Every structure is written in C-alpha cells, then in structure tokens.
Structure 1
C-alpha cells in the first residue's frame, strides 16, 4: 500500500470520527477548508512525479480524499441527516473512483469483472448510506420508523443483489458452453434473478 493510499484511508477514517463531533465555529470551518485545499495540493504534487496509471490512481486518491474531507467538514459544520448522508456517499464515491482507476491496470474480462466488483461495492455503500439516513430521521411513532427502516432495507437489499448479480454474471463471460450456462444459472439462483 502506498503512503498516499494509507493517507487516503486514514483521512477517510478520521473523517468518520469527525462527523460525530460537535458543530464548528465559522473561523474553524474556514481554517479547515484551507487545510483541505493545502492537503489536496500536496497530494496532487506528489502524484506529478508518477507516470501512467499509477499517476491516475494517485490523482483519484487525492481527489477522493479532498471530496471526502469537504463532505465531512460540511457534516461537522452543519450537522444534519442530509450532510451525514452526503459524507457517506462521498466516501463511497471516492472509493469507487479509485477502484475503477485501479481496474485500468487490467485487460479484457478481468478488467470488466474488476469494474463490476467496484460498482457492486459502490452500490452497497450507497444503499447502506440510504438506510442509515432513514434510520436517523425522526418519526411520529416507533412503528412508522420501523416500517420506514424495513422498507429502506428491503430496497437496499434488492439494489445490492442486482449489483452483485451483475458482477457474478460478468465473471461468467470468461467461460464458454455448458460451464458458462451453469455459471449464469448459479448466479441467478444465488442472487434470485
């Protein structure tokens, strides 16, 4: 794992902790925005020494870290269900963008599978964010909240299954004949298509 990747992961983890903190003052917010910009510039400068896809991955990590930091900052500055949701989605989007870029090192079906796996992970993260948002919203009664959460979980499960099925079906494309047909049937059965 490169130092930039470790920094990206650490920044994302730190952002999760920061999101549960108290709201910030305007001066703190401004200073934090300046730090985010400075960190992005520093990470971007580190990437300029790289070449090829390694540079592209580095740039996606830098951009993702910046987006996540900005979303986490907004969630801390203006705490709400909406900003928390946006921060969770920023994490998912950043991870997805980096994963897609890493897939570019591959070719053929391996690259296609890599991209479908990345998409499935993204869908899972976004759907989990949607469920968390519904769980955080107030409801008139416990029964209403329970019903809303159950519906959100049901919808999320369907979206996740669909994304996982697409990834599994993509793996089958590398096969031929009866082996491919069995693989597709197994994927349909596993993900109830």
Structure 2
C-alpha cells in the first residue's frame, strides 16, 4: 500500500512539474520501447509462473499482470503528459493491484478471506478516491492561476486608462504580451 501511495505521489508530482510537450519522435520511440519492455517482462515472468501450481501460480500471474499494467500505464501517462492520462494511469494501477489482492485472498478461507477481500476493496477505494481528488485539486489550482492572471491583466489594463495616445497603446500592448492576450 505504501509503495502504491509513493508511486501515486510521484506521478502527481511529475505531472505538475513537467510542462506540456509535443509528442516528438523520440518520445514516441521511448513510449513504444517501454511498452515492448513491459510485454517482454510479462511474458518472461509468465513463463516462470508455469512451473507453479494452484494459488501460487495464480498469484504469480496476477503479479506479472499488475507489473505490466503499472509499466504500461506509467509509459502512457508520461507519453501523453496530460492530467487525464496520469489520473487514468493511477486508476488502472489501482484496479490491477485490486485484482492481485483478490487473487492473494483466494488462498484463504472463511472469515480470514472475507477480511482480506474487504481490505483489498478498501485499498482500491482509497486509491481511486485519491486519484480523483488529486485531479480535482490540480484542476482547481489551474483554474485559480487563470483567474489570477485575468485579474492581474485587468489591473494592468486599468492603469493604462490613465494614459493617452501612443503611451496608452504601448501600455496596453505591454500588458497584453505580459499576460498572454
């Protein structure tokens, strides 16, 4: 659980710290390479799982699938570099971890199994809620930044109203360029 939270926090920080960038050929190549590596690793681990039997085999396969989903989701989120992509990656990872936890719970019986399943559901619910809440916080901060920029532009434009002629035109042009209008 702690690893999932650390991973989720790193995704959010990465999303906030990076600027939006165009999909360059190099980025596309890295994305395809990461997906290919995830698939190759999944196939290799899946082959090792074939030597097991019963629930340990199921857990091994579920771990391989969760690792593949995590790697592909991270690669996709970094390639697309959008808030939506990062949120989707976190949701996909939470669902994969939930499937893994449920598979682990299958080895248990009775109340112990019920508790395990409920714990898995609670972890998934928490991860999904955190992903959605983080998305809303980031969107709210972005909206607030935009509102502040607009307000600052209005102040600068109001200051220009005291001027006339060329000085006013230059003042308005400077305000527009400063605030992106």
1:16 CA drift (Å) = 4.4
Q: 1:123-151 CA deviation, whole Å, 9 max, x = no partner?
A: 01100110011112155437x9xxxxxxx
- Matching residue of 1:51: 53
Q: Is the 8 A contact 2:12 2:134 kept in 1?
A: no
Secondary structure at the residue paired with 1:32? helix
Gaps of 5+ in 1: 1-8, 145-193
Q: Does 1:32 align with 2:26?
A: no
How many corresponding residue pairs?
134
1:41 CA drift (Å) = 0.6
Query: Which one of 53, 64, 67 corresponds to residue 65 of structure 1?
Result: 67
Q: Does 1:20 align with 2:22?
A: no
The aligned runs of 1:1-193 (5 Å cut-off) are 13=7, 16=10, 20=14, 25-138=27-140, 139-141=142-144
CA 1:113/1:55 → structure 2, altered by over 3 Å: closer, same or farther?
same
CA 1:78/1:36 → structure 2, altered by over 3 Å: closer, same or farther?
same
Secondary structure at the residue paired with 1:72? helix
CA 1:15/1:74 → structure 2, altered by over 3 Å: closer, same or farther?
farther
Q: Is the 8 A contact 1:29 1:77 kept in 2?
A: yes
- Alpha-carbon distance in structure 2 between the residues aligned to 1:127 and 1:14: 12
The CA RMSD measured in Å over matched residues stands at: 2.9
